[in-house]
Chains A and B, each alone.
Chain A
């Protein structure tokens, strides 16, 4: 069975956390959820690989966690509110994670926000930017 097309599928650079996404990412997100507890944060920091054994992550999800591939985690079913818990363990801010996901430096990302944020023009639909760039 193929997934029905959704009207939000063409929002660029956006991973809507729908049922399909949630099923895919359940173990990954629940691992992240466990980091709400200090004892678990300590266990994870002491032995990341061993701690991850407790959760039924796919090899790709496991690799993305170890590599701190923030965009990859989203693509593998992660939800930002959950994956950010891992970022907190690393001492990262939402700007740092936002920069990593959008492929720019933290300084560039922070400056973009100070300048008013990422503009909506050219970012509504897949392909907008191309049309925009090519005038």
Chain B
């Protein structure tokens, strides 16, 4: 049976991808951040998962306002990097896992999570930056990836509770898959940041650190936090943190904190990184 061997949560700031792509990691602005991601990279290399299920959001790349799926699961054999206005990132094409992805789709829908099934989908920085953060710059990504795209741009995003429950359903589905895949689940986005309006640049480190604590120790309580609290306390784009709830739900009720990193700023964002294992 396939199993979930761990969870990673990370911000997916596009400037991190640009810093990697343009060799700026050693510059004074970026060096302190890149030092903090080393333990997560080492963990990924050691765990060496077969598949990563990555909960992320599309930023008007694959989806626009024409069609807004709340949860969209990529079942394709591969997903090309999207052109977000600069030309596509020169990172490897993401290799999917159609068998497990279709199993997830079937299992989740029959489990009453009415996800959208996607056969063709370019993936933007929301997905490729977390891979760069945890895997560096390989010729090919070291594992297969199942993209789980979550709408957090058009209000309302799915609730934290729904995301947490979806994570639990993913765990059940993976455990029922007839294979020996070792799976890591990613929750990406956040932490506190606001890109828009006169309040642009807002960060709230106290909120972010408390969010990490509660996510780890009492996810059922964190799941009940309403959207307005995220938007008010963590900035309008801080709502992305609901995607961390998917990762947490996919792990056991009790978890071990393997690593925690936090850094301000990466571009306009308070940046967080967590590695968790089932306890």
Residues of A within 8 A of B (CB): 6-8, 11-19, 21-22, 26, 29-30, 32-33, 35-38, 41, 71, 74, 79-82, 84-85, 88-89, 93-95, 97-98, 101-103, 109, 112-114, 116-120, 123-125
Contacts and interface: CB of A to CB of B under 8 A. Distances in A.
A83 to B, nearest CB: 9
Contact of B196 (A7, A88, A101, A117): A101
Given A33-B64, A36-B84, A114-B265, A12 B199 contact: yes
Given A88-B84, A94-B195, A14 B231 contact: yes
A116 B154 contact: no
B220 to A, nearest CB: 23
B196 A113 contact: no
A98 B264 contact: no
A117 B199 CA distance: 10
Given A94-B267, A112-B201, A30 B155 contact: no
A102 B201 contact: yes
B165 interface: no
A16 B199 contact: no
Given A18-B156, A32-B60, A98-B200, 6 more contacts: A8-B228, A35-B85, A36-B84, A98-B195, A103-B198, A123-B202
Contacts of A7: 228
Contacts of A93: 267
A41 B199 contact: no
Nearest to A20: B155
Interface stretch (B47-55, B175-183, B203-211, B248-256): B203-211
Interface in B37-72: 59-61, 64-66
Contact of B201 (A14, A18, A117): A117
Interface residues of B, number: 45
B236 A14 contact: yes
B231 A16 contact: yes
Q: Is the interface of B mostly helix, strand, loop or mixed?
A: loop
14 contacts: A8-B228, A15-B197, A17-B155, A22-B154, A36-B84, A79-B60, A82-B60, A94-B195, A98-B201, A101-B197, A109-B200, A117-B193, A119-B202, A120-B206
A134 to B, nearest CB: 19
Interface core residue of B66, B194, B205 (most chain A CB under 10 Å): B194
A133 to B, nearest CB: 15
Contact of B203 (A6, A103, A117): A117
A82 to B, nearest CB: 5
Interface of B: 15, 59-61, 64-66, 82-87, 153-156, 192-207, 227-228, 231-233, 236-237, 264-265, 267-268, 270
A118 B232 contact: no
Nearest to B270: A117
Given A11-B199, A118-B200, A113 B65 contact: no
A74 to B, nearest CB: 6
Given A36-B85, A81-B153, A117-B265, A102 B198 contact: yes
Nearest first, the 4 closest Cβ-Cβ pairs linking A and B are: A117-B203, A13-B198, A13-B199, A88-B85
Nearest to B201: A118
B188 to A, nearest CB: 15
B267 A113 contact: yes
Contacts of A18: 155-156
Contacts of A125: 232
A116 B205 contact: yes
B155 A120 contact: no
Contacts of B228: 6-8, 11
Contacts of A19: 155
A109 B201 contact: yes
Given A11-B231, A26-B65, A123 B199 contact: yes
Nearest to B13: A94
A9 to B, nearest CB: 10
